Structure 1
Amino acid sequence: MPPLKFMADTTIICSKEDETRRLLTRLDDLMSWCRMEFKPKKSRSLSIRRGKVDEATTFTLAEQQIPTVSHEPIKSLGIWYDSSMKDTMRGSETLELAS
């Protein structure tokens, strides 16, 4: 039986774009060394500059572009994340689930 491979969710927070790119490159190298691979289509990126979402900044992993939460929101632990950076919908969603 082949060995099973598992990867938990990972969040990367960097203060500079070039730091993020270097870290993603290093992580990709480590994954290759482990004979594992990331699935960029299942990942999301969010770049914030001066308190606002920066739509122009994109990142790549395994030579594939990571989708941004602006273009493809993502659900994690039951919560949807998008570029609005607001949780005003959470109240109505909670009421809907409670009824």
Structure 2
Amino acid sequence: MLIPKLLWPLLVYEICSTTVEAIEAKINKFTRRWLGVPPGLTDVAMYCRKAMLRLPLKSILEEYKCGKARLLSMLEDSEDPVVKTVQPTIKTGRKWKVVEAAGEAKECLKIKEVVGQSQTDCQGLGSSTAKWWSKTEGKLKRDMVINEIRLSEEYRRIQKTVQQPQQGQWTNWDNALQKSLTWNEI
């Protein structure tokens, strides 16, 4: 409910990522109080998708980054010749730059294409429907870049978790069952 109303001004106006981090920290404070968890609980426990207990919360900073990447991709892939000739400048501050993040995501996707497709389940060879980077166009390519940015944010959270000895203990649990809570269960 809150995130779509908050994201629109963040995406339309030139707001730096540090401001978004401050907004998220303020919201996290109230969310922790509402959930009844200790104030020392990190944002990793609230937003991590690979945690043993997943909460139905979205990171405002992650959504901000994905929205800015989507905007950049739409401007670069525009049908309008005027928009195509002008290089888009999307200001996001000094800490995080959308052009660099989108470039890194595209490079990661190209590397995944070179490495090749790997089977993660028992369907057999050639049964996967994933499309490669060079064959994709338009919205599918944009979605792949956005998913890669989401994966990099998740990787950043996992790194933060491993660095924290007490709160990162769930990374060593092998036999624990993963549970994804819904809003009704909260």
TM-score of the pair, normalised by structure 1: 0.36
The structure with the larger Rg is: 2
TM-score of the pair, normalised by structure 2: 0.22
Write 1 or 2 for the structure with the bigger share of helix: 2
Write 1 or 2 for the structure with the bigger share of strand: 1
